[in-house]
Structure 1
Amino acid sequence: MTTVYDIPPDVLIEKVAGELEKLDAIETPEWANFAKTGVHKQMPPKDEKWWFKRAASILRRVYVDGPVGVQRLRSFYGGKQDRGSKPYQFRRGSGSVTRKALQQLEAAGFVENTKDGRVVSPAGRAFIDGVAHKAKESVVETIPGLAKY
């Protein structure tokens, strides 16, 4: 069976985001069109579907790194802040974006909250592995060497 590790992350996240858009449990909050994804950013995302891509990316990150918490995911989605004439400095990503996306993934049944942190539920594992399997069929022709897996 194809898993998350067999597909390039950018391809998988696009496919999972497309599947998450079809679900009722994952929806873009009203404030998402105006919010930045972190203090290190100067503008909000231009892509209208960025919320689904971030939720898909968080689901993949929990699958690969789990159990994880919001703080650890904030560090993953952080970046360098431009401080003018002073040197750039690392800043974590938005906690609210990460937390709300995780809460929506929990409501959809894809993520579970344990005492050690959030982990992918069996339903979430089946969902993302199923998307990975479908994605592999469409990607095999474009990426040489992937067919051997």
Structure 2
Amino acid sequence: MIKIIHRIAGALALLTIATFWLTTVVSELFASEATVIIVKTTIPWGFLLLIPALAAAGGSGFALANGRRAGLVGEKVRRMPWIAGNGILILVPVALFLGSKARAEEFDAVFYAVQALEVIVGGANITLLSLNMRDGLKMKGRLRRFA
């Protein structure tokens, strides 16, 4: 059961973060200001899905690791503090700040500077989570290992 929880929670977390990132980039580049406001004020509501999914993925992952820290498990464990730190220290506060600025229709230089930070750090987290998913698939033999 814990393996199923880990797979579903990990995939859901990655999909949620990727959705946040993609809707942000597309709305900023191609959509109206009204759409940007909707996107930026909706993303924090997505935390109600994302945060439990990340917690479930992390907790189940540590349980599945069973104290092991070598090989691919070790790589996944070493990425987790970066993923969590980026999320807790940067992405959540930034999303709340941008949602507040968008709600007030304050699209100034600060908004766009913070938006750039969010896109960069969000992209880094997508990469780290994707690497963890790749390594998990390798460990289960669902993805070939290359020498």
Higher strand proportion = 1
**TM norm. shorter chain > 0.5:** no
- TM-score, scaled relative to structure 2: 0.31
